[in-house]
Amino acid sequence: MSQENTLITIVGATAIGKTALSIKLAQHFGCDIISCDSRQFYKETTIGTAVPDADELAAAPHHFIQDRSIFEDYSVGQFEKDALAKLDELFQKNPIQIMVGGSGLYVDAVLKGLDYFPDVDSEVRVQLTDELEEKGIESLQQKLKELDIESYNTIAIDNPHRLIRALEICIGTGNTYSSYKNKPKTPRNFKSIKIGLTADREIMYDRINRRVDIMMENGLLEEAKTVYPHKNLNALQTVGYRELFEYFDGNFTKEFAVSEIKKNTRRFAKRQGTWFRKDKNILWFDFQEDVENIITRVKNLLN
């Protein structure tokens, strides 16, 4: 009997070890890796997004790593289409493929499909963007809290792009953003096995703090300087760059900017944990679990 097409997806918080595990699994099963880390699509940002290094990229075929520019708009909807097309191609070579990443929305887009929202007058977004610049992100956060408490509690409210998206639907349609979510989706032509990596909070936070220090040693400051002239681009509205832009603007000291990167990355990891823990189908392992044990569990699920 031929093997059913199966996508093994590795999720978990930032700095937990997803890349290393994905490579070991890809080598074992002789397959490719689809990256669904929304920060790693862009060629201009390598250090601050923890892109796999040259040895890691050479250890297994990777897709959607630094394959576009920060100057290109790239939506989760487009990624869904691109990733499904790539998987159709890869499954012809091997019925087992691997996807890895900590961007929960992008994982869900591939595994389940996206929610679809009505078109909204573009003027709404313009007004919200103006409000963000004039009054700051807290004003928009408060607005979302009043209009759609469910979305306020579930989306990444310190991501201006996500915040404005939720608000433009609330304001432009008169309905909550959350009311359009979780409608029936197109079934996928593959089955899914989800693996999550976890660690005690103190260990995870220590790994994050050390990773930020290593990024700074590896030249994150210089990298941020090269993209600073384009700091308003969507692709750069992300932890690690925003804080250094504040330093370049004279609002933060360098030491404070680094401490903010660590703090905001820890917050991001906490939100990732909240997102993924809602999914009861994830098989969780400690980040130090023997890879052979994980492979054995996966093989049992494949049979």
Which residues are documented as binding site for ATP?
A: 12-19
Q: Give the 3-state secondary structure of residue 44.
A: coil
Q: How many residues does this entry show for the chain?
A: 303
Assigned token pair, 129: 């963007």
The CA distance from 217 to 211, in Å, is: 10
The CA distance from 234 to 227, in Å, is: 12
Neighbours of 127 (CB within 10 A): 15
Residue owning tokens 């012809």: 92
The CA distance from 230 to 263, in Å, is: 24
Return binding residues for substrate.
Answer: 14-19
Q: Determine the distance from the C-alpha atom of residue 44 to the mean position of all C-alpha atoms in its chain, rounded to a whole number.
A: 17
CB-CB contact of 162 with 249 (8 Å): no
Return binding residues.
Answer: 12-19
The CA distance from 177 to 182, in Å, is: 11
| DSSP tag of 282 | E
Helix/strand/coil percent split, the chain, to 5: 55, 10, 35
CB-CB contact of 287 with 199 (8 Å): yes
Assigned token pair, 237: 């509205």
User: Letter for the amino acid at 192?
Assistant: S
Neighbours of 156 (CB within 10 A): 17
